[in-house]
A and B are shown apart, each in its own frame.
Chain A
Amino acid sequence: MLVVNNLVKRFNSTLAVDDLSFTVKSGKIFGLLGPNGAGKTTTIRTILNIIKPYSGEIIFDGKPITYEYYNIIGYLPEERGLYKRSKVIDVLVYFASLKNVKRKDAIQLSDKWLNKLNISNLREKRIEQLSKGNQQKVQLIAAIIHNPRLLILDEPFTGFDPINQQEVKDLILSFLSEGKTIILSTHQMDLAEKLCEEILLINDGKEVCIGKLSEIKKRFGGNNIRLGFRGNGNYLKEFPEILKFDSYSNYTDVQLKDDVNPSEFLKKLIEKIEVHHFSIIEPTLNKIFIDLIKESLPR
């Protein structure tokens, strides 16, 4: 279990991380979400002990994080890159040896993972000869080869095609059963929605929203419907029941006032416009994300 208490990080006069506190339970995926420049990477770097916090504490399994924890932490940075001119197997063994894995074991583990991700044929190839997706797989292996107890994944899915994305997702989920503590930082809300049990949404280094995903959804659930109709969407402005709406090319998402009954509203709607789709929707994490970030912006 990872506990972060009142974490603050300053760079000169700017506050990069402003009093964050959260807990990541083992066997769970914790989503660290936020727009670009929100302070996610800084938070991660502090947890990784790459940079020192200004104040606050980071405790893993009851003890503060020190350099000793290097060997049980796995980290996949957002921006990828490996030694281009080196061989896949050499790179993997090097990263394993940096985590104090013995050479003999490192070779065995590399082969096991290359097999598991279906790229064992690339073992002797140079990194630069690999496709981008395969390079990412190698980097993912490098991050997990030492069987870390705390795993921090920064945008693990970018650059993968849907099939590989599925593979990576299954891999991450398989770690859960092993009781690993996982922090997932991403922009891809649909994936965060599928994988994370708890999330922390930050903006400008501050906490915007924290908690169980299911509870957050309930909290921000509201009264939402999805409409498909022919004609001009400007009509929607005239309905007093509507709080706000977002138009897309094929449909429009509408948030109704809390006391409005969607069925009653539909009746009223078909009198004005030709409706060909109507459904009641749960808010996506994406929507919550956008709404919350917009709200948290200084006006």
Chain B
Amino acid sequence: MMKKIIAIARWEYLEKVKTKTFIISLIITPLLIISFSVLPSILFQQESTNVQVLGIIDETGTYFLKLEEELQKYFLPNGQNKYVLINLTQKNQNLEELKNLADKKVLKNLLEGYLIIQTKEKDSILAEYRSDVFGNNEIVSRLEETLNSIRIESILESEGMQSKVISQIQDRTIVQQNKIEEEGRITKSDFLTTFFISIVFILLLMMMVIYSGQLLVRSMIEEKSSRLIEMLVSSSTPDELLAGKVLGLSLLGLTQMVIWALIGLGLVGSALVPQTAFHNVLPMLIYFILGFLFYTTLFVGIGSTVNTEQQAQQITTYLSLILMLPVVIAMPVIQNPDFIVTKIFSYIPLTIPTVMVLRLNVQNVSTLEIVLTISILVLSILIVTKISAKVFRIGILSYGNKLSFKEIINWLKE
């Protein structure tokens, strides 16, 4: 029994590991994942290295100088001031003309953008920032903060408060977010890091499942269309064949993981991946392996009913969509891990691996819940294996016409 399973696994593994597509995917997948996940976060954090020239139209006449003074606390890496302010206010021109003039300068790239400050009611002001791009959050939030502090300062000053007190008032309190790991031990949370680790995990699982699933279905189509399958089933039981295929594919997946882990470790060496990514490594690994087994067994069962490349493509598309689901819900899960929908998803076998890994990274999941979800996953693997084996046994011998769902149900009853 075992001998044959090993022989089948060995064949499936060796024949696939030698293919060009496998070797290419080994290198391309991590490259893709890195470029999808690491690059944006690097770009996001990167401050622009150029001096930014901002125009100011200050109708109040009181803000420009203070603004200029305050913004001098921002420097470029080379020590230069980051922002240079130009006063565009001119007494004899009306606001519309000034705006038109400034718009022109922005569009000609002479200005990064410009700020209009108008008086609203006695103390408050109206501010508008105009530039040729949206989403210049950094500048806008800095301008906002500075304007507010100037306003508060001037109000307090006019009320006769001492400047020492004012600067004390202006001191801001920042709430540090930490996640409790166990009594007395915390990790500093960082939204981007959490998101990054989780997405990398989901992407890895997804790519591995889809990739090996496709390999498997394709090889099964070959075996069926060439009737090789008849020689196989006259040599070993369908169950042995199923077990051998799943084992071989898992080994293939393991090979990929080890190689990717080595690449990952190399990245840690270069400090691209934060160390915090690795403190939940054991449960994450369990979820990953079980998730992979679950999906692969499912694939073998469904794959055995397929006769043509097109049908195979349809099926892989559906399965990929199911696998995509966790990516869609990743954001809400991270932001609100206690949400009821999140809880539900962490008990559905199809989404257990991904949702649980997301939750492990953002909250302290109770051991009971981990044990419970792992048991559900193991149980569903056993059930899926049983069903897949049954479908597989008959599916591999049915050629030609497309199988209806009804027929498959009939097989299961047999």
Contacts and interface: CB of A to CB of B under 8 A. Distances in A.
Nearest to A101: B7
B230 interface: yes
Interface residues of A, number: 30
B228 interface: yes
A75 B234 CA distance: 7
Nearest 8 pairs of A and B residues by beta carbon: A81-B226, A98-B235, A97-B7, A79-B227, A77-B230, A75-B234, A48-B234, A94-B11
A43 to B, nearest CB: 14
A48 B45 CA distance: 66
Nearest to A127: B226
B99 interface: no
A68 to B, nearest CB: 11
A83 B15 contact: yes
A73 interface: yes
A160 interface: no
B412 to A, nearest CB: 15
A70 interface: yes
Contacts of A79: 226-227
Interface of A: 45, 48-51, 67, 70-71, 73, 75, 77-86, 90, 94-95, 97-100, 139, 142-143
A82 B234 CA distance: 15
Given A98-B232, A143-B231, A80 B226 contact: yes
Given A81-B225, A94-B7, A142-B231, 7 more contacts: A70-B237, A77-B231, A82-B226, A98-B7, A98-B235, A99-B235, A143-B231
Interface string B208-235: 0000000000000010011110111111
A75 B230 contact: yes
Nearest to B244: A98
A48 B235 CA distance: 9
A100 B226 CA distance: 23
B8 interface: yes
A90 B15 CA distance: 9
B379 interface: no
A151 to B, nearest CB: 11
Given A50-B230, A77-B227, A100-B4, A83 B235 contact: no
Nearest to A52: B414
Contacts of B237: 67, 70
A142 B225 CA distance: 18
Given A97-B7, A98-B7, A70 B227 contact: no
Nearest to A69: B234
Q: Which bracket fits the contact residues of B? A: 20 to 34
Interface string B360-379: 00000000000000000000
A199 B8 CA distance: 37
Contacts of B231: 75, 77, 95, 139, 142-143
Contacts of B236: 70, 98
Contact of B233 (A50, A71, A80, A86): A50
A85 B18 CA distance: 10
Contacts of A86: 15
A78 B237 CA distance: 20
A50 B231 CA distance: 10
A290 B62 CA distance: 112
B397 interface: yes
26 contacts: A48-B233, A50-B230, A50-B234, A51-B397, A67-B237, A70-B234, A71-B235, A75-B230, A79-B226, A79-B227, A80-B227, A82-B226, A83-B15, A83-B222, A86-B15, A90-B14, A90-B15, A94-B7, A95-B235, A97-B4, A97-B10, A97-B11, A98-B235, A98-B236, A100-B3, A142-B231
Of listed A77, A98, A142, residue having the most chain B CB within 10 A: A98
A139 B225 CA distance: 15
Contacts of B4: 97-98, 100
B8 A98 contact: yes
Contacts of A71: 235
Interface of B: 3-4, 7-8, 10-11, 14-15, 19, 222, 225-228, 230-237, 397
Contacts of A82: 226, 228
Contacts of A142: 231
Given A50-B233, A98-B235, A83 B228 contact: yes
A142 B237 CA distance: 18
Contacts of A143: 231
Contacts of B3: 100
A240 B10 CA distance: 72
Given A51-B397, A98-B8, A81 B227 contact: yes
Contacts of A48: 233-234
B205 to A, nearest CB: 28
A105 B15 CA distance: 21
A113 to B, nearest CB: 16
Nearest to A143: B231
A51 B19 CA distance: 34
Contacts of B227: 77-81
Contacts of B232: 98
Nearest to A81: B226
B226 A73 contact: no
Contacts of B230: 45, 50, 75, 77
B225 to A, nearest CB: 7
B7 A84 contact: no
Contacts of A139: 231
A11 B10 CA distance: 35
B280 to A, nearest CB: 41
A139 B231 CA distance: 10
Nearest to A152: B234
A22 to B, nearest CB: 20
Nearest to B1: A67
